[in-house]
Amino acid sequence: MKNVASVIVDVPAMQTDRAYDYLVPEEWLGSILPGMRVVVPFGPRKIQGFVMELKEKGEVSKLKAISEPMDLVPVLNEELLSLGNWLTDKTLCFKISAFQAMLPAAMKAKYEKFFRLEEMTRLDELPDPLPDLFRKNSEISWKAAQEAGILPLIQKQVKQGKVDVIYKVKARAKKKTVRKILPAFNRDQLEGILESLPPQASKQKEVLRYVSDASNEGAPLLVKQVIENAGTTASTIKTLVNKGLLVEKEEEVYRDPFEDRLFEQTSPLPLTEQQSQAIKPIVDVIDQNLHRTFLLYGVTGSGKTEIYLQSIQRVLEEGKEAIVLVPEISLTPQMVHRFKGRFGDDVAVLHSGLSVGEKYDEWRKIQRKEVKVVVGARSAIFAPFENIGIIIIDEEHETSYKQEENPRYHARDVAVQRAETHKCPVILGSATPSLETFARASKGVYQLLTLSKRMNDGDLPHVSVVDMREELRNGNRSMFSQELFDKLQTRLEKGEQTVLFLNRRGHSSFIMCRDCGFVVQCPNCDISLTYHRFSNGMKCHYCGYEEAVPNTCPECTSEHIRYFGTGTQKVEEELTKLLPGARIIRMDVDTTSRKGSHEKLLTAFGEGKADILLGTQMIAKGLDFPNITLVGVLSADTMLHLPDFRAAEKTFQLLTQVSGRAGRHTLPGEVVVQTYTPEHYSIELAAEHDYDRFYLQEMAMRKMGAYPPFYYITMITMSHEDLMKVVAIAEKLSAFVRSRLSESTIILGPAASPIPRIKNRYRYQCLIKYKREPNLTPTLKTVLDQFQQQYASGGLTISIDVNPYMMM
DNA sequence: GGTTTATCTTCA
DNA sequence: GAAGATAAACCG
């Protein structure tokens, strides 16, 4: 009899990163299955866990029993369970983190502690104010006790055995319900009932008539609607329920994030010659149930989405499911429209803009097989489908597909892994593929499909690169070059729209003293504080530290201290000064933080309510309005100087992407790129729309620097409050790693991180570059093991990032 | 991660 | 020698 469950418990720590065995109580035998969440006793408390497998015998002799199951059916199927193990191996994360990453946040448990009277304890034994409190409630929450300042008092009672501590696991997920009512009689009885009611109860009679009439077939009616349609109130209905004439019931509903939106149904569009060529191999692979990865390399506007849609159509016809990943989808409502438009209610949407509850509901639609297609951001790659027929990753090169916290996975790798098990194709789509992907396509590891023509046969916009040093020499000190300014003005006159694009990184507005050059820095992190006009304060992006803007320089007491840099707010100010008539929409963290505001601003712009859209990289995506004929990039090279070997690649991708926003329809588009380094190949070649040459040039650079795709890299970052300690540990750690890895492997460092201190912790890093290193994972595991003690006691943290995208 | 248990400090 | 602080061990 398999009545022992091995369980991964919700304690993300090295020591607990293994399965614990529990007895399955008789009453749950057969209903507790692998992949379910359960509540288990762990030490003195109760926590959540995932059942891995059922077996006959436990590892130790006496086992505790599972307290209760948290699910009716498994939330992780067999495939996802083994995918979790794979993820753990690949990213060196805790098992529990891997499983939690695969589920919506709503399913992560919350814990709370309570005090309860021991059975034998009488109230008068306790000191004030405990008797009163326990008289009111049989349980006092830990938090409440703490807030009331009586925590030490209660804990004393606990020690004396008079009060007990109990631990509760709370499910975060709440299913949304609506109240509905049903008549408790059938239609023939209605007249009799109406007569039996007192004559003055006219409202009640009206409601009964309405309900009896409206609920044919005995379908329950929404209370809300009855109130509206019968012109009554909640209390009338309540009275009728109390009289037993109506039956009330709660019914579960999905929160619908797209409730009041209509999606116009679309049908497959005829494909161009190139599109048909590209889709053929995909369809072949679908028909043959094969796994293969395709790179769909198509210039902006070449119709990649239609290929996605028709491939999915094929997959659905075969009775299978599809996963579509898009970068931070809340930014591309247009994409949602296209999928909902084609596949209607078969589509679930998972993106960061949804509330926890909404995400949970969308996830359950997938789990219950109520949808066939999921469109979502990174984590949607874990959608619990069981019969996947295709996985599509749009804008494959986007770095948001890499999760920057544990488990540090890349959705692309997970996609390929899942597609292998499901024997289905993966399609990576991009106009500017990542070097890694394009290199694989060139080598034939991926199959390359090319779309070189724009669908409307339009030309790519003309890009002119403006040397800002030249502008400066000519005495133009503003942030707009003469050329950009002239073109802006022409657009305004013609009533056409402009998008102005500002690189945020490295140019956020900091506070600097004009006399001595002093920059206000965060006291906890080695980074300058960012000015926020909203609160007239300065904020640290890393630790959240905030302080008011000083009136005088703390260094030299000069009064010429003010904010610098080209924040979007500042650009907006200058724009209104230079072009007083222009209507501007600004999109940045400040104006888009509220839910739905992003879409609202975009819609307003699309409806022509503004002449200029000004924003950070968030506007680079999914912007597709016919009236945009000018795109301006204010400073193309800010990103170029970051300490990141992908800086050139990112610059190229970004410039290509923004330029693609201009002239997508009948009106021709123009792009102006302002830069201080016009000779840089990433800027030059982006202006020429020449990805192929950029690829060759950048590959040469990567080869020289021994970077991906020629080498794999893994980054180890150590941090500690004590600078000397972290230096010592870093030395020891890298020496150890060096001793265990092969000769051909390059180990850089240890060296201080580009941001040497965050939240008062000093950071050192070590970069490992390797071509083939079978010993790497075991070595890293040993590292984690060996430094565990200091990890636990000395406040050391080690983070390992296999294939990092953030080098800071 | 939280809790209990073992070990070390500190101070009368 | 007890109370308090800190490190180590364990959780089935």
pLDDT, one tens digit per residue, over A633-680 is 988 887 887 778 999 999 999 899 888 777 666 777 899 999 988 999
pLDDT score recorded for residue A789: 65
Alpha-carbon distance of A386 to A214, in angstroms, equals 40
Q: Using omega within 30 degrees of 0 as the cis cutoff, is the peptide bond preceding A750 cis? A: yes
User: Could you report the per-residue pLDDT of A560-571, keeping only the tens digit for each?
Assistant: 877 765 577 778
A224 part of a folded domain: no
* A424 annotated as ligand-binding: no
Largest CA distance in chain A: 97
* A766 annotated as ligand-binding: no
Q: Which residue has the higher pLDDT, A205 or A564?
A: A205
Alpha-carbon distance of A788 to A112, in angstroms, equals 28
Mark whether A442 and A532 lie in a shared domain: no
Q: What is the mean pLDDT of chain A?
A: 88
Query: Which residues lie below 8 Å from residue A26, measured CB to CB, with a gap of 6+?
Result: A3
The protein footprint on chain B, as nucleotides within 7 A of a CB, is 1-4
**Domain extent at residue A281:** 273-451
Among candidate residues A171, A190, A217, the one where a domain is terminated: A171
A213 part of a folded domain: no
Q: Which of residues 145-204 of A touch strand B (CB under 7 A)?
A: 165, 167
> Looking at residues A286-304, what average pLDDT do you find?
93
| Number of domains present in the structure of chain A | 6
Query: Which residues lie below 8 Å from residue A379, measured CB to CB, with a gap of 6+?
Result: A101, A102, A350, A403
User: Could you report the per-residue pLDDT of A788-806, keeping only the tens digit for each?
Assistant: 666 666 678 889 999 999 8
pLDDT score recorded for residue A509: 66
A247 part of a folded domain: no
Among candidate residues A702, A735, A766, the one where a domain is terminated: A702
Question: Residue A555: is its pLDDT beyond 50?
Answer: yes
Mark whether A685 and A765 lie in a shared domain: no
* CB proximity A16–strand B (7 Å threshold): yes
Take residue A283 and report the two structure tokens written for it: 């369809």
Alpha-carbon distance of A339 to A349, in angstroms, equals 10
Alpha-carbon distance of A746 to A402, in angstroms, equals 24
Pick from A460, A503, A466: nearest CA to A484: A466
A294 part of a folded domain: yes
A250 part of a folded domain: no
Q: Which residue has the higher pLDDT, A371 or A537?
A: A371
Mark whether A559 and A569 lie in a shared domain: no
A743 part of a folded domain: yes
- CATH code for the domain of A86: 3.40.1440.60
Which of A128-142, A505-519, A545-559, A715-729 shows the lowest mean pLDDT across its residues?
A505-519
pLDDT score recorded for residue A621: 67
How are the residues of chain A apportioned to helix, strand and coil, as percentages rounded to the nearest 5? 40, 25, 40
pLDDT score recorded for residue A507: 43
Res. A3 pLDDT band, cuts 50 70 90 = very high
Mark whether A617 and A641 lie in a shared domain: yes
Mark whether A446 and A475 lie in a shared domain: no
H/E run at residue A183: strand A177-183
Protein CA A792 to sugar C1' B9 (Å): 22
- CATH code for the domain of A446: 3.40.50.300
Mark whether A310 and A391 lie in a shared domain: yes
Q: Which of residues 90-129 of A touch strand B (CB under 7 A)?
A: 113
Alpha-carbon distance of A691 to A297, in angstroms, equals 10
pLDDT score recorded for residue A395: 93
Q: Which residue is nearest nucleotide B2, judged by alpha carbon to C1' distance?
A: A45
Mark whether A13 and A96 lie in a shared domain: yes
Mark whether A298 and A355 lie in a shared domain: yes
A126 part of a folded domain: yes
A195 part of a folded domain: no
pLDDT score recorded for residue A300: 81
Res. A710 pLDDT band, cuts 50 70 90 = very high
pLDDT score recorded for residue A506: 41
Mark whether A573 and A486 lie in a shared domain: yes
Mark whether A631 and A486 lie in a shared domain: yes
Take residue A690 and report the two structure tokens written for it: 């020449």
* CB proximity A793–strand B (7 Å threshold): no
Yes or no: say if A689 and A699 are a contact pair by the CB < 8 Å rule.
no
> How far lies A348's CA from each of A157, A178, A395, A428, in Å?
52, 21, 20, 20
- CATH code for the domain of A716: 3.30.70.600
Mark whether A33 and A83 lie in a shared domain: yes
Protein CA A434 to sugar C1' B3 (Å): 48
Is the Cα torsion angle A604, A606, A611, A614 positive or negative in sign? positive
User: Could you report the per-residue pLDDT of A688-704, keeping only the tens digit for each?
Assistant: 999 999 999 999 999 99
The protein footprint on chain C, as nucleotides within 7 A of a CB, is 7-8, 10-12
Protein CA A338 to sugar C1' C2 (Å): 74
Mark whether A535 and A441 lie in a shared domain: no
Alpha-carbon distance of A694 to A649, in angstroms, equals 9
